[in-house]
Structure 1
Amino acid sequence: MLTSAFFLLIMLVGVPIGACLCLAGIVYILDAGDTVLFQSFPVQMFGGVDSYSLIAIPLFILIGEIMNGGGITKRLVDLALAFIGSVKGGLAYVNILANMLVSSIIGSATAQVAIMSQIMVPEMEKQGYDKTFAAGITVYGGMLGPIIPPSVMFVVYSVLAQVAVGDMLIAGIIPGVILTVLFFIVIACMGFFYNYPRTAKRTIRQRLHTVLTACPTLLIPIVIVGSILGGFANPTEAAAVGAVAAVLVGRYVTKEFRFATIPQILLKSAIYSAVVLFLVAAAAVFSWLLIYGKVPQATAAWIQTVAKDPIAFLLLVNLILLVIGTVIDGIPGLIMTVPILLPIATEIYGIDPRHFGVVVVINLVLGLMTPPVGLSFFVASAVTGAKPGKMFIVTLPFFLICCAALVLLSLFPSLSLALIK
C-alpha cells in the first residue's frame, strides 16, 4: 500500500515514469525490510536491456529521423494523393493513407502526429477543411504508427513477453489495415453530413509522374518488412538495412538528405533511444519486484472472480488498459501492465501472447487519443493551434470505430495471427 501511494504521488507531481518505477522499487524494498534485495537491483536493471532484440529500437528511431531529413514523408503523401484521386473528402482519405504509408517507417504515434500535422493540416486548411477536424484526423492517422511495422512498442512488448520480435511486427499488419479501412468508412459516412471539399483533379500523366517519383521511397518499408517476412533477416538486421536504405533514398533519390546532418540525427536518435531503454531497464526491476511481492497471483485471483472465459477476460483488459492509457504513455503503460496481465492471459486463459500483445498495444495507443490526457491531441495542438478538447469531440466517430475494432480483434485472434508462420 505504501509503495502504491508513493508511486502515484511522485507520478502525479511530474516525476518521469522510469524514475517513478525505480524509486517505488526502492520504497518497496525498504518497506519490506529485505535490504538484501538492493544487491540485485542493478543486476535486474542491466538484465532488462541485455537483449539483442532491443538494438532494433534505436535503429527504427534512426530510420524515422533520416526519413524526416530526406524529404521522404512528403513524397509518400504525394503518392497517397495520386491513388485517391478527385473524390469528396479526398484529402481526408489521403491523410489516413499517407499516415499508413509513413507508419511503416516511423513506428511512433506521437512522432508521427507531430510530423504529419505539419504537412497535412496546413494543406487541408487551404482546401477548405476545418482546422480542428484536420488536426483530429491526423491524430487518428498517427495511431497506425505503433501498429503497422516497424513498431517500437511491439519491440518492447516482445522483450517483456519473451516472444519473437518478428512475429509481433507481422501481427500488426492486418490490424493496421483493418483500422485504415474502418477510418475510410467513417470518412465516407461523415461525408454525407459534411460538405467536404473535393481534391483537385490530376491527369493520368500527372498521377503517373507522382507514382514514379514517389515509388522509390517505398523501398524502405519493403526492405524492412520484406526481409522479415521472407526470413532473410531478423528485425534487428532488417532495421539496420532499412537505415542504410533510408540514407540512400534520401541522398540519391529525393536528394534532400545531407551527410552533414548525420551528427544531429544520431544525437536526436540517441536521446530518444536512451529514454525508451531506461524505461525498459526500470521495467525489469518493476517486474522483478511484482513477482517477488506475488502481485500477479493476487491480481489473477481477483480477475478469475470477474472473468470466466478468455473473451470476458480480454474485454475486461480492454477497459482496464483504456483507462490506464488515458493518463500514461504507451511504453510506460506496457511496462506497468504486461508483467501483471500477460501471465494471467497465457497461463489461466490460454491466450496466445502475440494476440494479447496486439490487443494491449492498440489499447494503450488508443489511450493517447482519450481524455483527460490524450497526449497525441496535445502534440497536434502544439503544432497546429487547434484545441485538444474540440479535436476529440469533432473526431468522436473515429474513437468509437477504434473501440469497435478492439472488440473485433479481441474476439477473433486469427486477425492478428494469420500472417505468422
Structure 2
Amino acid sequence: MTALVILIFLLLLMMGIPISLVLGMITVIYFFLMDNTTLLASTPMRLYSGLENFGLLAIPLFMLAGELMNGGGITTRLVRFAKVFVGHVRGGLAYVTIISNMFLASILGSANAQAAMMSKVMVPEMEKEGYNREFSSALTLASSIVAPIIPPSMIFIIYGTQSGASIGGLFMAGIIPGILYGIGFLSLIAYLGYKHNFPKSQRATGREMLSNTVQVLPALLVPFIIIVGILSGAFTATESAGIACAVAFLVGAFLYKELKWNKIPQILVNTVISTATVTFLIAMANIFGWMIAFEQIPQLIANSMLSLSENPFVFLLLVNVLLLLLGMILDGIAALIILVPVLMPLVTAFQIDPIHFGVIICINLTIGLLTPPVGTGLFIVSSIAEVRFERLVKATNPFLLLAIVILLVITYWEDAVLLIPRWLGLV
C-alpha cells in the first residue's frame, strides 16, 4: 500500500501539478485506499486546525509590510543608498546587489519575493554597466537566499509554530548566519571582480552620500523597530509585524509621499494572493504530515538514522544531505512542514538545540531555491530576467557551492547561531 501511494505521489509531481495540491490529493487517495472513513471525515477539521496558530498571523503582516515598503519607495532608496557608497569600486554594482539584498532581507523575509523584486531592478542596471546577464541573474538569485535568514523570516515563523521553538529566538539566531552569507558572497565577488575585471561606477560626491544617508534613515525604521521591539520584550514577533506595517505606511505615504491611495488596492491584492498561496500549502502539508504520522513513518526514519550512528555530528551531516536532496524536488515550505515533525524527536534524542537546528534546516531548504530541477528561485529569475534556465543554473553553481560551505560552518559552529540568543536570554 505504501509503495503504491509513493508511486502515485511521484507521478503527480512529474505531471507538473503544484506541490500543495499533490500533498492534499495523495492524503485523500491514501484514506480512500485504506477505506478509512473516520480519517477521511476528519480531514476538513485537520485542515483548519493546522492553521489555527497565532504565530502564523505574522506571515500576512510581514508580506503586507514588504508590499507597503516597495510601493512607498523605501526599497529603491535602500538600493540607491548602497550604490552611492560602494558603487564606485571594481564590481561595485555587484556589491550593491548583495548589500541591497541584505537590507531587503530585514524587511521582506521571503527569498522568492526578494528574487523577483531584485531581478526587475538590478539585472537591467548591471547589464547596462557591462555585466553578463547570466551572472547578474545568478548573483541576484543567490544573494536573495539571505531573506529567510535575517529577521524577520517567514520560514522561521513556520518552523517555530511547528516545533515550539521561540520565534523571537530564531529571528535573533539568524543575524550572524545572514552576515556570514553576506560576507561570503562579497568575498566571492571581490575574487571574481579581480579575475574578470568587473566595471566600476562613477564615485558619488560627499553631498550625494549625505543626502542619500538622510533619505534612507526613515526606511531603516522598519527593521530597527522589529529587532529592538523583540529584543526589549515590548512586543512579540507577530505584533512587530503589525507595527512594521504601520511604520511602512506612514513612511511611504507621509515622508516619501510615494505611497498613493490608488496603490493600496493592488498592494492588498498582492498580499492576499501571496498569503493564500502559503497558507494553502501549510494546510495541505499539515494533513500530509498527519497521514505519514498515522503510517509511523517518523518513527521508522528515526530508528533508521539512530541505527546508522549515535553521534550528533554524523546525524547533522546526514540531515544536511537529506535536506539538500529533498530541496531539489520539493518546495522549501512544504518540505519544512513535512520534515519538522519527523526530525524533532531525533533532535531531542541527540540533545541538539531546537533553535540551532531550526536555522540549519531553514537555511538548507532555502538553498533549494538554487538547485534544479524544482528550484523555484531559478524559475522566477529565469522568467523575469529572460535568461535560459540551463545557463542560469550554470552561472549559479559558484554561489551554490559557497552557500553549502557556509551551511556546514553554521552546522558545526553552534556559537555562530546561538551567540546572540544566549546573550539575550532567549535560549
Would you say same fold, with TM above 0.5?
yes
**Identical amino acids, percent of aligned pairs:** 40
Structure 1 unaligned spans of 5+: none
User: 2:280 corresponds to which letter in structure 1?
Assistant: F
Give the counterpart of 2:238 among 222, 236, 255: 236
2:129 counterpart of 1:127: yes
Partner of 1:65: 67
1:21 and 2:38 correspond? no
1:252 aligned partner: 254
Tell me if the contact between 2:173 and 2:359 (Cα under 8 Å) persists in the aligned partners. yes
Cα distance in 2, alignment partners of residues 33 and 162 from structure 1: 33
Aligned-partner Cα distance in 1 for 2:291–2:397: 39
* Residue matched to 1:417: 418
1:355 aligns with 2:356: yes
RMSD: 1.5
Secondary structure of 2:126's partner?
helix
Pairing partner for 2:107 from 105, 108, 111: 105
State which of 146, 149, 153 in structure 2 corresponds to 1:147: 149
Partner of 2:80, secondary structure, is: helix
CA distance in 2, matches of 1:240, 1:99: 22
Opposite residue 294 of structure 1, the aligned amino acid is Q
Whole-Å separation in 2 of the counterparts to 1:386 and 1:260 = 33
Corresponding residue number in structure 1 for 2:373: 372
Q: 1:197 maps to which residue?
A: 199
1:263-282 matches, within 5 Å, as: 263-282=265-284
Residue 323 of structure 1 aligns with which residue?
Answer: 325
Please give the per-residue CA displacement for 1:322-372, whole angstroms capped at 9, x wherever unaligned. 1111122221121222221222222x2111111111111111111110122
SS at match of 1:105: coil
Instruction: Mark the runs of 5 or more structure 2 residues left unpaired by the alignment.
Output: none
Which residue is 1:118 aligned to? Answer: 120
Distance in 1 between residues matched to 2:90 and 2:50, nearest whole Å? 50
Partner residue, 1:56 = 58
Counterpart contact for 1:22–1:286, Cα < 8 Å: yes
Stretch deviating more after TM superposition (138-147 or 385-394): 385-394
1:82, 1:211 within 8 Å by CA — same for their partners in 2?
no
Q: Give CA-to-partner distance per residue, 1:128-184, whole Å, 9 cap, x none.
A: 111111111000111111111111111111111122221222221111111000111
Question: Quick one: which of 5, 8, 31 aligns to 2:7?
Answer: 5
Q: Which moved more, 1:240-249 or 1:307-316?
A: 307-316
285-294 or 105-114, larger mean C-alpha shift: 285-294
Q: Give the Cα–Cα distance (whole angstroms) in 2 for the partners of residues 175 and 106 of structure 1.
A: 17
- Post-superposition Cα deviations, 1:275-316, rounded to whole Å, max 9, x if no partner, equal 211222222222222222111110011112323311111111
Q: Is 1:343 matched with 2:345?
A: yes
> Conserved in 1, the CA contact under 8 Å of 2:73 and 2:252?
yes
- Please say if residues 115 and 141 of structure 2, whose CA atoms lie closer than 8 Å, have aligned partners that are also in contact: yes
Structure 1 residue 59 displacement after superposition: 0.3
Q: Which amino acid aligns with 1:403?
A: I
Q: Distance in 2 between matches of 1:204 and 1:85?
A: 14
Distance in 2 (CA, whole Å) between partners of 1:145 and 1:77 is: 15
Q: Does residue 92 of the first structure (1) align with residue 120 of the second (2)?
A: no
Give me the whole-angstrom Cα distance separating, in 2, the residues matched to 1:414 and 1:254: 40
Between the aligned partners of 1:345 and 1:7, the Cα distance in structure 2 is 27
1:85 CA displacement:
5.0
Q: Which moved more, 1:187-196 or 1:78-87?
A: 78-87
In the alignment, the residues of structure 1 paired with residue 21 and residue 137 of structure 2 have an alpha-carbon distance, to the nearest angstrom, of 32
CA distance in 2 between counterparts of 1:16 and 1:391 reads: 23
- Secondary structure of 1:255 counterpart: coil
Task: Report runs of 4+ in structure 1 exceeding 4 Å deviation.
Answer: none
Q: Which range moves more in the overlay, 321-330 or 21-30?
A: 21-30
Q: Which deviates more, 287-296 or 243-252?
A: 287-296
Q: What is the deviation of 1:28?
A: 2.3
TM norm structure 1: 0.96
Contact 2:370 2:396 in 1 (8 A): no
1: CA distance between counterparts of 2:281 and 2:248? Answer: 27
